[in-house]
């Protein structure tokens, strides 16, 4: 049982259903064949914490808003906990509490070979960067790559959204 100094006791559990785990792979996008396959949604997100062991993100997308806590990456896997929050709360956190710059992007959710690919076209300080992510059921799941999936960048820290705050794509010296 874990020790906690707060007044609420922690309950130890070994049930795999009690742990939220994100398994994803990330690729650079090549060409324009992906455009038009899905209507993009505008996303604005900011970070309350970018500690490598735990990030806390606020995201606003159309009429929805979320607070997300993510653990550190272990290859293509990490803990992830996501909670829907009030849109007004998200706006206030983005305006007042989040680190700068905020990340802005257009996201297209594109079905391919039984999976949903999320293509993020970054805007503002990260304009020109386009990445595709696919969430998997297991780390060894076979993935059929679409023609527009280029170099795999899973695990490359500079492509993490939280890293793009400290080192925006527009500041990169070498090409990718």
Q: Which of 47, 83, 159, 169 is catalytic?
A: 47
Output the six-digit token pair for 129.
Answer: 């960067």
For the four alpha carbons of 172, 68, 72 and 118, in that order, the dihedral sign comes to negative
Distances (CA, A) of 153 to 75, 85, 158: 11, 30, 9
> Are 104 and 42 in contact, with CB atoms under 8 Å apart?
yes
Is 42 annotated as catalytic?
A: no
Q: Going by C-beta distance under 8 Å and a sequence separation of 6 or more, which residues neighbour residue 43?
A: 59, 60, 61, 103, 104, 105, 106, 107, 120
Residue length, the chain?
A: 176
Helix, strand or coil, per DSSP, at residue 176:
coil
Active site residues: 47
């Amino acid at each position: 049982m874990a020790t906690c100094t707060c007044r609420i006791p922690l309950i130890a559990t070994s049930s795999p259903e009690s742990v939220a785990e994100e398994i994803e792979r990330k690729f650079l996008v090549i060409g324009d064949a992906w455009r038009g396959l899905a209507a993009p949604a505008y996303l604005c997100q900011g970070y309350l914490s970018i500690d490598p062991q735990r990030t806390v993100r606020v995201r606003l997308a159309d009429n929805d808003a979320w607070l997300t806590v993510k653990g550190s990456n272990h290859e293509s896997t990490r803990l992830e906990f996501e909670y829907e929050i009030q849109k007004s709360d998200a706006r206030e956190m983005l305006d007042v509490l989040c680190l700068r710059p905020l990340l802005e992007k257009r996201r297209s959710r594109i079905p391919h070979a039984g999976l949903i690919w999320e293509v993020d076209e970054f805007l503002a300080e990260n304009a020109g960067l386009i990445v595709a992510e696919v969430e998997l059921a297991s780390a060894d799941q076979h993935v059929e790559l679409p023609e527009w999936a280029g170099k795999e960048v899973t695990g490359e820290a500079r492509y993490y959204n939280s890293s793009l705050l400290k080192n925006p794509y527009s500041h990169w010296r070498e090409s990718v």
